[in-house]
Structure 1
Amino acid sequence: MEFTGSSYTGESTHNRMEGKGEYAFASGTRYVGEMKDGMFHGEGTLYFPNGGQVTAVWKEGRTVGEGSGGEYTFSDGLKYNEEGWDYCNAFSERRFYTEICKGLKPAGRSQLIDSEKKPHAIPLGWFDVGDGLYNPETRRVESYTGGFLRNADDEEHLWIITQCRKGVSDDVA
């Protein structure tokens, strides 16, 4: 484990992760729960660096049981529900989670982002993708402070230009 940057704290049998413990990945993700023969096995939760988490029953490293995906909770507290999921998908309305919880705002005071904060300024021709700004000419997503996040593939590019807010001129001709 020391070679991969991960660590384990907890019970063990014959130098194998066995029983209750915490496994921390080098990426910042960590698993807290039951282990058997070095694998997630029993009840446990994966915690992601962004604040999301998956709570599930595991068998030999895989989730088992109804739906086989466990319960996923996003970093804002929204719980994913496989049945009747209608939050931000292409086939239903696109309300933000805060609008679902607190209700829609009156006309003219719509939310542009899923926060009570003021939306970020979007450069002309760029798009706001939620975790940064997207330049469709370079296909590059940058953080709001200007650092590189990722390059968009064809699928993400198409989704961004059809679904995200675009920076436009304030001039009205």
Structure 2
Amino acid sequence: MELTGSSYEGPTLNSRMEGEGEYTFPSETKYIGEMKDGMFHGGGVLHFPNGSKYEATWENGIATQGSFTFADGLLYQEKNWDYCDGNDRRFYTERCNGLRPAGESQLTDLHPPRVIPDGCYDCGDGFYDPETRIITSYDGTFLRNADDSEHEWIVRTCRVAEEPIPESFLEEVSCVSHMD
């Protein structure tokens, strides 16, 4: 574990993880659950840094059945998945809480959306700077470099931060509306 940067808190048997424990990966993903002979074995939950989790039954380190819940509470369904399927484009929070009033569009699943630097893209687990091709977490921690395929996907599909509307433009629009 010292070589990989992982850590473990819990009981051991013959220097191997055994019983209820907590294993933390270098990525800060945590497994909390049962261990046997140094492997995940029995009931346990993987908690991801972004708030999502995977609850599963494990046998000798392999998940045999489980369920994935996104950070916002949406439970993934392998069959009959009807979220964001082209027919219903609402965010999960809109499905749970209803649509926002007219004029108060919801731009992301979070309302208000996270603030991201000008020219960067909101890609869910952080923001992406297309100039440096770096994805940074919302708290400022380096996450990863985007390869060509991820770059193309982010630029094509994600919300981009735009510079604020210039004050002079707002004054101009205000003058025009008073002339009507």
Task: Work out whether the TM-score is over 0.5.
Answer: yes
Unaligned runs of 5+ in 2: 170-180
Q: 1:23-172 residue pairs with structure 2 within 5 A?
A: 23-65=23-65, 70-88=66-84, 91-117=86-112, 120=115, 123=118, 126-142=120-136, 149-167=143-161, 170=165
Does the 8 Å contact 2:46/2:55 carry over to 1? yes
Query: Is the partner of 2:149 in helix, strand or coil?
Result: helix
Q: Residue 27 of structure 2 aligns to which amino acid in structure 1?
A: S
Task: Write the distance in 2 (CA, Å) between the matches of 1:145 and 1:46.
Answer: 22
Does the 8 Å contact 1:122/1:166 carry over to 2? no
Q: CA deviation at 1:82?
A: 1.5
Does the 8 Å contact 1:122/1:128 carry over to 2? no
Q: Which shifted more, 15-24 or 31-40?
A: 15-24
Unaligned runs of 5+ in 1: none
Change over 3 Å in CA distance of 1:17–1:158 after alignment to 2: same
Task: Write the distance in 1 (CA, Å) between the matches of 2:134 and 2:159.
Answer: 16
Task: Write the distance in 2 (CA, Å) between the matches of 1:144 and 1:9.
Answer: 28
Change over 3 Å in CA distance of 1:144–1:37 after alignment to 2: closer
Deviations 1:100-139 (A, max 9, x none): 1012224422101222225536635x43334444343443
Change over 3 Å in CA distance of 1:161–1:86 after alignment to 2: farther
Task: Write the distance in 1 (CA, Å) between the matches of 2:138 and 2:44.
Answer: 35
Identity of aligned residues (%): 55
Change over 3 Å in CA distance of 1:110–1:23 after alignment to 2: same
Larger radius of gyration between Structure 1 and Structure 2: 2
Q: CA deviation at 1:80?
A: 1.6
Task: Give the total of aligned pairs.
Answer: 166
CA RMSD of aligned residues (A): 3.1
Does the 8 Å contact 1:17/1:36 carry over to 2? yes
Greater helix share, structure number:
2
Change over 3 Å in CA distance of 1:145–1:31 after alignment to 2: closer
Query: Is the partner of 1:160 in helix, strand or coil?
Result: helix
Change over 3 Å in CA distance of 1:79–1:145 after alignment to 2: closer
Q: CA deviation at 1:32?
A: 1.9
